[in-house]
Structure 1
Amino acid sequence: MSGFSPFYCFPKSAALLALALLLTGTSPAQSTSARLVPFRQGTKWGYADQRRRLVLPLRFDEAGPFVQELAWVRIGPLYGYIDGGGNPVTPVQFTKASTFSRNRATVELNGETFQIDGTGQRLTTPPEPEPETEFLTQGDLTRQNGKVGFRFTVGQAVVPNVYDEILENYNGLLFVRQGTKWGVLNNKGKVTLPLEYDTIKAIETNNFAYPVVEQQGKFGYLAEDGTLLVAPKYQAAEPFVADVARVTTADGRSGYIDTRGREYFD
């Protein structure tokens, strides 16, 4: 449920009851919500610290990552937002809700879709255009006999012309393809991940961090050095947002992992 993706839709009902449940009880103060990770135990969700210790209690039916000190939560079929202390920022009233991005989130209420700010107020102005991104080039592609290689600008590393496709990525990594299989090279031209993977996907919105890798229908993640952070084992894997990523296990259970590959679900 990271970024604007899973945008769940449910029939609106029991809004007042959901809000009452959300307001029930007190939560410990927490100013470092960015370090909290959605934690699922059984069918209930709360938030844990980086040692997997429960900080906000298991009282939600689903929970999203903290971005800009705010996170969406679901009680029954409806959504609302909380702060790092578990305090409500909005009522639990939305039939759709997204993770905050660029100080705004998209919600649906009474069949109408609009955006709100960090206080829950409706926004009437469109978002500012995304700043232009200037990609740093590590070197130049070389071509010979229909094959592609790479010559790094810094250092003496040269990748021979043996690949069908080469893509640059963050941290000096190259994604390389031979036939239908992908692998990874570092900025010295050394293989860090063999050409055994069906896809490798990096997303600009999270600065291309921790790309998703696919192998035989299972998904995992790359670490910053181009090796595997998590070997492909998940049924589904979403891009990282605020240092956490939502995954679905082979038996259909959903939860989050952090940038060390630790799982926050039982």
Structure 2
Amino acid sequence: MNRATLLFLLGMLAVPHEHAAAQTAPSRLVPFRQGARWGYADHTRRLVLPVRYDEAGPFTGEIAWVRQGSLYGYIDGGGNPVTPVQYSRASTFRRGRATVELNGETFDIDLSGHRLTEPAPPEPEIEPLEHGDLVRKNGKVGFRFTVGTTSVPAEYDEIQENYNGLLFVRQGAKWGVINSKGKLIQPVTYDAIRMEGNRVFPAVQREGLWGYLDEEGNTLTELRYRQADPFLGDIARVITANGQPGYIDANGQEFFE
């Protein structure tokens, strides 16, 4: 299964059908930071919307939040305003709605910028895809894959499954990664592995710095970020070691300079 298909299928699990395409389609434009100012670039890093914002958020459903001074507003993919720059807080759109704050009041708006009066629907429950069964022996856990004869010996303290067949294994306080063939592809040296978001690109941490793995468990980026947020579609927000925000794409390419 290729990366684009996997991103789409995971998005279909995570959001209602009517918003799935908007939430999970590859981002046409990526927030791009030059110094302290922000614009938007395509995936070749070619600037498409000029660098004129004090901060910029990711596009979902062809709408993104931007900040000018201390206030936020929303623009479309052509850089045209969807709302005035008037909110003291503004979130990224998710499942067709975003939360904003105006004059001390917090409420949700729709993709047209209109205020919503009905409450947000409950979060959908996501059932993990199971690729096998845990095997317990002498206080340790292993894993037996459903397909084939591959198994992982019961020598770990914890095992968690990922959607695309990876196993995250813990020995003591350290984590590593095993693939669907039972091979240890990332040594048990990480202090943390985080799987929020679309669960395709796990974030890993060691000695206070974060990086990402790709969908096969290989290194996507080196451990060089102070903060690594979950991927939204095919981009993720990071904080560099010197405290500057920026975005990367699913190839690990950085969109800041």
- TM-score, structure 1 as length reference: 0.85
Residue of structure 1 equivalent to 2:207: 216
- How far apart are the structure 2 equivalents of 1:37 and 1:130? 27
Match of 1:242 among 233, 237, 256: 233
2:139 counterpart letter in structure 1: G
Residue of structure 2 equivalent to 1:5: none
Residue of structure 1 equivalent to 2:15: none
- How far apart are the structure 2 equivalents of 1:170 and 1:85? 35
2:164 is paired with a residue whose SS is helix
The answer to whether the aligner puts 1:260 opposite 2:251 as a matched pair is yes
Does the 8 Å contact 1:66/1:242 carry over to 2? Answer: no
Q: CA deviation at 1:173?
A: 0.3
Does the 8 Å contact 2:129/2:163 carry over to 1? Answer: no
Does the 8 Å contact 1:33/1:69 carry over to 2? Answer: no
Q: Name structure 1 gaps, 5 residues minimum.
A: 1-31
- TM-score, structure 2 as length reference: 0.88
Residue of structure 2 equivalent to 1:36: 29
Q: Name structure 2 gaps, 5 residues minimum.
A: 1-24
1:211 counterpart letter in structure 2: P
The answer to whether the aligner puts 1:103 opposite 2:85 as a matched pair is no
* Pairing 1:71-90 to 2, within 5 Å after superposition: 71-90=64-83
Q: CA deviation at 1:137?
A: 1.0
1:188 is paired with a residue whose SS is coil
Q: Tell me the matched-pair count.
A: 233
2:125 is paired with a residue whose SS is coil
- How far apart are the structure 2 equivalents of 1:217 and 1:164? 23
Residue of structure 1 equivalent to 2:140: 147
Large movers: runs of 4+ above 3 Å: none
Q: CA deviation at 1:33?
A: 8.7
Residue of structure 2 equivalent to 1:128: 121
Deviations along 1:71-102, whole A, 9 cap, x unmatched?
00000110000000000000000000000000
Deviations along 1:208-265, whole A, 9 cap, x unmatched?
1211100000000110001111121111111111311111111111110000000000
- How far apart are the structure 2 equivalents of 1:135 and 1:250? 33
- How far apart are the structure 1 equivalents of 2:90 and 2:123? 21
2:149 counterpart letter in structure 1: Q
1:74 is paired with a residue whose SS is strand
1:255 is paired with a residue whose SS is strand
Does the 8 Å contact 1:33/1:83 carry over to 2? Answer: no
CA root-mean-square deviation = 1.2
Does the 8 Å contact 2:99/2:106 carry over to 1? Answer: yes
Match of 1:63 among 44, 56, 63: 56
Q: CA deviation at 1:132?
A: 3.3
Does the 8 Å contact 1:166/1:175 carry over to 2? Answer: yes
Q: Call closer, same or farther: CA 1:33–1:136 in 2, change over 3 Å.
A: closer
